[in-house]
Amino acid sequence: EECGFDGGDCLNDNDRLQTDYPNCLQVQYSAWYKNGVCHYQLNTEECGFDGGDCLSDNDRLQTDYPNCEQVQYSPWYNDDDCD
């Protein structure tokens, strides 16, 4: 916001995210919202689990580890990196 949403370049993305999920506070990541890739920054209930992009990752993690509470980081699960 302080930088004019990249001189206005991000206004459509911001509007779309805020319209779909008004309680999502991660507006700075709105360009990543609902783009087919799960981003942990938007993988919250308030952000619609990245507009649905994270649902399969979340399901996979919760199926394998039902007691795991770190669902937000499901994109990192079993990605060949120790995160």
Model confidence pLDDT, tens digit, residues 5-59: 555 555 677 888 888 899 999 988 888 999 999 999 999 999 999 999 999 999 9
Could you give the CA distance from residue 25 to residue 28 in angstroms, rounded to a whole number? 8
What letter would DSSP give residue 29?
G
Residue 17 CA to residue 26 CA, distance in Å, equals 9
Count of beta carbons in the 10 Å neighbourhood of residue 41: 14
What pTM does this model have? 0.79
Name the residue among 45, 40, 50 with its Cα closest to residue 73.
40
Nearest by Cα to 41 from 28, 22, 57: 28
